[in-house]
Structure 1
Amino acid sequence: MTIKGLSTSFVPLMICVAIWRQGPAHADEPLLERDVLPILARQCLGCHGGLRQKGGLDLRTIPSMLKGGESGAAVKSGDLNASLIWKRIAADEMPEGEKKLPAAEKAVLKGWIAAGMPTVAQRRKHADPLLSSHERHEPQQVAAAIDRHLEAALSEAQLKPAPLSDDAEFLRRVAIDLTGRVPTASQAAAFLDSTEPDKRAKLIDELLASPQFGEQFGRTWRDWICPPELPSDPNGGKQPHKEAQNFGAWLGSRFAAGDSWDTIVRQIIEVDGEIKNSPQVIFFGLVGEGGKPTASGSARAVASLFLGVQLQCAECHDDPYRDWSQDAHWALAAFFRKTTGDFNKISEGPPSDKKKDNVPADSAKLGQITIPKSAFKNAGTAVQAAFLGGKVFEPQSDSALRPPLVDWLTAKENPYFARAFANRLWFYLFSRGLVNPVDDFRELNPPSHPGLMQLLANEFAAADFDVKHLVRCVCNSTAYQRTSRVTPDMTESTTASLTALFGRMPLRVMTADVLYDSLKLAYGDPKLDLRAIDPKDGNTNGESAPVADAYLEFLRRFGTNEEDATDFTHGIPQLLTMINHPRLLNGSKSLDEFLKAKPAPAPEQTIEWLYLTTLSRRPTSEENADIMAYVNKSSDLAKSYGGVLWMLVNSSEYLLVR
C-alpha cells in the first residue's frame, strides 16, 4: 500500500496476541497489535513491510507510518482528514484492484486513527507490578503479588481458579521441577506425615539447597543453550556429547553454588581458553557452524537465550514482522567478530585475513563488521558494533569486544535481560511463558500479564539476579501450587481457559531426563540400561543401531532429538520398551533391599513403599485391597512385588507430572 503508485498484495500472516481488556474506558477501543496490524498484514505488508517498501513507505510500526513515504506522513494521530492512508481507503482508492476493505475493517482503521492510534504497549506501559522496583522482597510477598496479578485476570474472565493441590501432588511436582526426579519413599512419607503449617515453603528451601537442584537446572539450560545431537550408531557420531554433558555439569555446579545469573552469563560469553579448563567453551562452537564460532550465530544465540528476542530473520534483511533491522543483527554480531576457535578452544584475538562472517578482512575500523555475501541485502556493507536497540559502540583500541557487550547485557537497566530469564523460568514451571515463544519479546507479541512480567523482571534484577530467589518466589505462589485435576463440572473450554490463564496447572509428561533418573531410583540401578536386546545373541539391536552409551540411547529413544532436546516423545517404541524390557520385568535392587529389612516388612508396608517410591502417595484402600489379592495368589512374593512396581511405572500417573 502506497500513496504514490498504490498497490496491494496478500500476505498470509497470523498475528496472535493474548490481550486483556484494559477496563471500561478502553474496552471497545481498536488497538494496533490486536486489531489494526492483522488488517495491514493481510492487505499491505507484502509491499510495505520489511522485505519491500514501495514508495518508501513502511507500515509495520507507528514511527514508520508517521515518517511516511514519498508523499509524506501516512497517518496523523487523531486527525482523519490529515491521514492520507485513511483518505485513500475511505475513497476505495486503496487497496488497488477490485477487492476493497470490508466496511468492518474500514471502521477499525477509522476508529484507531481517530482515537489517537493506541497500542497495547501504551495501554500496558504503566501496568502496576504491585511491588516497588529496585528493592528485593521476601518470597512470600512476591508470591502474593503473583497471585494478585493472576487472580485479577481470572476474575475479569469470570473464571474460578482450581483449588490447591493436595500434598502428594505438590510434592511430586516440585521435586520433579527442582531436582529432576521423583522423591524417595522416605522423603515422601516424611512430607506427607508432617503437620507443620509451612512445610511446603520448607520443602522448597530444602530442594533448592540440594545438589540435585543444580544438576536439573544445569542440564535444562544446557539443552536450551546447546541441544545435544545424538548419533544413530555407536561410533559414527562426532558430536561432542561428553563435552556437552560437562557443560551441563558446569552449569549445574554454578546454579548449586548460588552464582547469580549475570555471573554465569558473563562466564559463558567472555570465556577464553581450552575446554578442559572451561567447559563453557563449547557454547560458541555449538551455536556456530561446523563446530566453529560465527559472529552471526553468536549474535542469534545471545539474543534468543539471554535477551528473549529473535534476530535470525534480520541476518539477511530487515525482519518483516519484528522491529529489528539487518543493521541491528550485524551490529550485535560485530561484538563477536574477533572470536575464533572450535569446540575445544576459544580465543579473542586480532582479525585474520580469512573472509569469514565473524572476521571480515575488510573491516578497517575498530568494532566494525562487514555483512557477508550470503546475505539477501546489503552484502559488503560495513556495520559498526552497537547494543541492541541502543547506542553505537566505538572501541578506542583493538581490545576484546565481548566484555563491554556483557557489561551492557547484564546491567540492571537493560530491559531485556531480567525479563528473558523470568519468562523462561515461568515457561519451565508452567509449561507456557508469559510471552510465547519464550524468545519472541516484541511489540506485536506482548506478555499475557504485563504487570506480572514486570514484577518478575523487577524482582530478579533487584535481587541481583539470584536464581534461587526467583524460583523460591514463584514456587511459593498459590498459582504454582494449584491442582491440575479436572472436576466433572468443568467443560473442555473452561479447562482450556483456566490453563491459559494459569488458573490451574497443566498436565505434563515427564521429560526423558526426569524419567531416566526416576527409573534409576525406583530400580536402584545408577547405570540402568534399557537399550534394545536381541534375545538370540544378547547384542544391542534397536529400530536403528543404538548409541553405545545407555543414557544417550535412552534420551534418543525417549525424546531427545536434533531439533529440540526438550521435546519428549512417548509413542509405540517407548511403550514397548517400558512394557517389555527385561530390566524392568526382572525386579528392582531397591525393592530387594527393602524386602531384606529386619524385621521383614508386612505386605501392607511393601505396597505402601511401592506407591511412595513411584507415585509419591499412599495407596487408596481399594488399590491396597486389589494388590493384596494379587500378591496373595503368588508363590513368589518378591516376583509379585516386582510385578506391582512394573505396573506402577507403566501407569499414566507415573509418567505424568500433575
Structure 2
Amino acid sequence: MQYRRHLILLVLLSSTLHAAETPSFRNTIQPILTRYGCAMGACHGAAAGQGGFRLSLRGFDDEGDWISITRSANGRRLTMEDPARSLFLLKATKMVPHKGDKRFEVNSPEYKAIADWIAAGAPGPKADDPRIVSLEVSHPHLVTQAGKTVQLKVTAKFSDGRSEDVTRWTKYNATNASVATVDDFGLIKTTGSGEGSVSAWYLSRLALATITIPNASNVDPAAFAALKPRNFIDELTLKKLRELNIPPSVRAEDHEFLRRTFLDTIGVLPTLDETRVFLADKTADKRDRLIDSLLQRPEFVDYWSHRWSDLLLVNGDKLMPEAMWSYYNWIRRHVAANTPWDAMVRDLLTATGSTLEHGGVNFFVLNDEPTKCAETVSIAFLGTSIGCAKCHNHPMEKWTNEQYYGFANLFARVRTKNGTQADERVLFSDTQGDLVAPLTGKPPPPRPLDVTTPISMTSTEDRRIVLANWLTGADNKLFQRAIVNRVWANFFGAGLVEAVDDLRVTNAASNEELFATACAHLVQHKFDLKALMRTILQSETYQRSSVTLPENITDLRYGSHYVPRRLKAEILLDTISQVTAAPTTFKIDKRNANKGTSESYPMGFRALQLPDSNIASYFLKSFGRADRVATCECERTNEPSMAQALHIANGETLNLKLSQKDNHLDALLASKQPDAKIIEEAYLVTLTREPTEREIAKATQLLATAKPEDRRTTLEDIFWSLMGSKEFLFNH
C-alpha cells in the first residue's frame, strides 16, 4: 500500500514534466546533495565514500559525481523507467534501510526535483549550463536585540541573467553562538550581545550576514563624548563601540604606555635612565617623540627581522649555515632600509641566482615544490589558506580545485642547480614544464587567484613576475589585508580578523570599516609599514588603559581597552636577561655551524637577534616559540602550561641569572644606596614604574631585617617576586 501511494504521488508530481524545465544536475541536483549532507565529509563526500558510493566533497566535481551516480555499480542507483523505484530516492527517504537516515520527505521539493531529473533521463552537466556569478543574503548587516528571530533569504544570480531564491538549498553556519544561531533553513535566533555572523554557502559561493546586538547596559553618553579621536583608528573604533554600546576605558598612564610601547615595537624594556627621563617629562608631545625614536632604534631592526624570519621560515635545520645567514641578512637589510612591503615581497618572489648572494632565493629552496610554494605564498602574503582546494573545492572559502592548480602552476618552472661553491644552489626560471592537475590529468592554465585571463602556456616569461605584479598590486585587497592584520595583531594582541592568517569570507573582521580604511592608509603611504605602525601607536585606541570597566570587561575584539597578553618567549627571556644584567649564552647546533666558527653566538646576543630558530633552549620551547617548520601563526603559542609555571617558580633560567656573580643585583648592593632607592630601582627596571608607599615599606623592611650575609639572597627574592608577577610576565 505504501509503495502504491508512493508511485501515485510520483505520477502526480511528474505530470507537468514536459511543461517544466528539466532540473540541471549542476545547478539543482548538486546543491541538494550538499545541503542534505550526502556530499559532505561525514557521508559519501569522504575521500573513500561510504557504502561503496563516493561523491566529491560539496559537489566540486560535477562530471565525476554524475558518473558515480548514473554509471557506477552498474547503474543500479537509478531506475529511469520508474524513478520511484530508484535506490537513489528510496535510500534518501528511508523507504529502504539507509545508514545515513532519512534525508528528506517523499513529498518534498527535493524529492520532486530529483525524480524529475531521473524521469528526464538523468542528464549530466553541460558545458553551456548557466554558472552562478553571485550570492546575496537579505540581511547583510543586521542590527537587532537579543531574543529576536530573523529569516534570511538567499538569492543566487546566474550567468544567463536569472535570479533564484535558493534559501532552502543553502548550507548555513553561525560563527559566534553566544550572539546568534541559525537553523538549516536560514532562521537566525539571537542569543546575546556582541557581534557575530552567519555564512550562507551555495554552489561554491559564499555570502555573509553580520549580526550586531548592542550591550543592554545603560551607558552614559558622556563616556564616548569625552574622548577626542587622534586619527581614523580612534574615529572608527569609537563608532563601533557606540554601535555595540560598549564604553571605552580611560587613557593608560605614562609608565604603562612606556613599557607597552617598548615591548610591542622593539621587544625590550626601557632602561632605568629612559624610564626616569620619560616619567619626568611634562611636555605634551612626549609620547609622539618616544614613538618616533623607537621606530629608528637598532632594536627595531632586530625585532622585526625576527618577526619576518618567523613568517618566512628562516631555519638552520632546513638550510645550510651560509644560506641561512644569507636569507636572514636579506630580511635584515630590507627592514633596516624600511623597504616598502610590496617591494620586499616582489624582490622575494622574483628572486633568482645564488642562495649565498641573493638570500631571498632560499624561500624557494625551502618551498621546493609548486603546490608547497602556492600554499606558503597564500598564507604568508594573502593571509588565507588554499590547501583544502588541493583535493576539492574549499569548503569554507571560494577557492576551487581548478584555481588551486592554476595558481600552483605559476611555480612549476622554478628550478635549482648546483653552484660553484660548496653548499651553493642557483635558482633560475625554466622555459618549459607544467604541473598536472590530478582531477583532469592535464596542466591547468597558470594564473593568479581570482584572475580570469591565464598566462599563455607557450610563454617563456618567468611566471613569477606576473604573480608578483598581481600580488603586490594596489588593487589586491587580500595582500593589503594580510599585512595590515599581522601588524595590527602585533600591537593589539589579536588581529582585526582572528586567526591572523585566516582571512576567509566566512571569518568576519571585528571592524570591517576600520580594516578597509587601514588598508587604504597603507596604500596611500606606499606600503610603508612604519607609517602604519606610527598611526597605530599614536592612536588613543592603542594608548587606552588595560584596566576594564564593568561594561567592557568581556570585550576582547573592539578596542574598548588594551588586552593584556603574556610576553612572547624570546622577549621574556631577553627581558629577564636585561633586568638581571646576566646575558644568555646561545649554543650553535654543531650540524649547522661552519667549520672553524665558535660553538656559541657572541656573549650578549639576545634571543630576538638570533637568525635561526634551531637553537637548543628549553625555556624558549616551553614558552611557545615558533619552530619555523610551517607558515602558520599557530606555530607560536601563548597558551599557559605547567612547564612555564615551574620555570618561573623555580626554573634554572631565572635562578641562575639572579644568582650570577657581578650581575645587576651585585651592582645595586655595591652602590651603597639607601634601601628605599634600591627597591625603587628594582621596580623601575622590572615593572617600569615607581613602587607604591606600601610596596616600598614591605620591601625595605625585608632588606633592613636581613643579616648582612643574607642581603643578597633577600634582594634575589625581591627580584624573583617582581619577575614572577603578572605585571612583569604580561604586556598590559
TM superposition score normalised by structure 2: 0.64
1:612 is matched with 684
- Determine which of 262, 269, 293 is the counterpart of 1:206: 293
Which range moved further: 195-204 or 248-257?
A: 248-257
Q: 2:425 aligns with which of 316, 331, 345?
A: 345
Residue 647 of structure 1 is matched in structure 2 by 721
1:575 aligns with 2:650: no
Cα deviation per residue 1:299-321 (whole Å; 9 max; x = unaligned)? 11111111222211112222122
Q: Which residue of 2 aligns with 1:327?
A: 402
Tell me which amino acid in the other structure corresponds to 1:278. H
In the alignment, structure 1 residue 559 sits paired with structure 2 residue 617: no
Secondary structure at the counterpart of residue 500 of structure 1: coil
Larger Rg: 2
The worse-fitting range, judged by mean Cα deviation, of 563-572 and 161-170 is 563-572
Q: How does 1:60-459 map to 2 (within 5 A)?
A: 63=133, 83=164, 85=166, 105=187, 120=208, 143-226=230-313, 228=315, 247-286=327-366, 288=367, 293-341=368-416, 345-350=425-430, 360=433, 363=434, 369-371=435-437, 375=438, 377-378=439-440, 380-390=441-451, 391-394=453-456, 397-459=459-521
- Give, in whole Å, the separation in 1 of the partners of 2:391 and 2:646: 46
Deviation at 1:51, TM superposition (A): 6.2
Q: 2-side partners of 1:567 and 1:469: how far apart?
A: 28
Between 1:641-650 and 1:477-486, the stretch displaced more is 641-650
Structure number having the greater strand percentage: 2
Taking the aligned partners of 1:250 and 1:567, their CA distance within structure 2 comes to: 27
Report the secondary structure of 2:374's partner residue. Answer: helix
Letter in 1 for 2:718: V
Q: CA deviation at 1:462?
A: 1.3
Deviation at 1:612, TM superposition (A): 1.2
Q: Does 1:514 align with 2:594?
A: no
Alpha-carbon distance, 1:209 to partner: 0.4
Label 1:200 to 1:339 Cα distance change in 2 as closer, same or farther (>3 A). same
Cα distance in structure 2, aligned partners of 1:570 and 1:260: 36
Identify which of 555, 559, 562 aligns with 1:502: 559
Query: Cα distance, 1:476 vs. partner?
Result: 0.7
Q: Is the 8 Å Cα contact of residues 342 and 472 (structure 2) preserved in structure 1?
A: yes
Please tell me the root mean square deviation across aligned C-alpha atoms, in Å. Answer: 4.0
* Distance change in 2, residues 1:518/1:501 (3 Å): same
User: Secondary structure of 1:445's match?
Assistant: coil
Change (3 A) 1:395 1:459: farther
What are the Cα deviations for residues 450-469 of structure 1, in whole angstroms up to 9, with x where unaligned? 22111111111111111111
Deviations 1:440-484 (A, max 9, x none): 334333323222111111111111111111100111111111111
Q: In structure 2, what residue type is equivalent to 1:401?
A: R
Measured in 2, the distance between the counterparts of 1:609 and 1:555 equals: 28
For the residues of structure 2 that align with 1:122 and 1:571, how far apart are their CA atoms?
A: 35
Percent identity of the aligned residues?
24
Aligned counterpart, 2:80: none
- For the Cα contact (< 8 Å) 2:389–2:399, is it kept in 1? yes
* Alignment deviations for residues 381-404 of structure 1 (CA, whole Å, 9 cap, x no partner): 211221221132237752322223
How many residues in Structure 1 have an aligned counterpart in Structure 2?
A: 529
CA distance in 1, matches of 2:288, 2:369: 45
TM-superposition CA deviations, 1:271-320 (whole Å, max 9, x none): 2233333333332233x3xxxx1111111111111122221111222212
Contact in 2 for aligned 1:143/1:473 (Cα 8 Å): no
What CA distance in whole angstroms lies between the structure 2 residues aligned with 1:517 and 1:11?
A: 54
Shift of 1:240: 5.9
Q: Is the 8 A contact 2:679 2:696 kept in 1?
A: yes
* Contact kept? 1:509, 1:655, Cα under 8 Å: yes
Q: Which has the higher contact order (CA 8 A, sep 6+)?
A: 1
Runs of at least 5 residues in structure 1 that lack an aligned partner in the other structure: 15-44, 67-72, 90-100, 125-140, 230-236, 352-358, 364-368, 532-546
Is there any run of 5+ residues in structure 2 with no aligned partner, and where? Answer: 1-24, 42-54, 67-123, 137-153, 171-182, 191-199, 213-227, 418-422, 589-611
* CA spacing shift, 1:422–1:548, aligned 2, 3 Å: closer
Q: Which residue of 2 aligns with 1:584?
A: 657
Scaled by the length of structure 1, the TM-score of the pair is 0.71
Post-superposition Cα deviations, 1:167-210, rounded to whole Å, max 9, x if no partner, equal: 11111111011111222221111111111111111111111000
Mean CA deviation greater in 342-351 or 184-193? 342-351
Stretch deviating more after TM superposition (190-199 or 400-409): 400-409
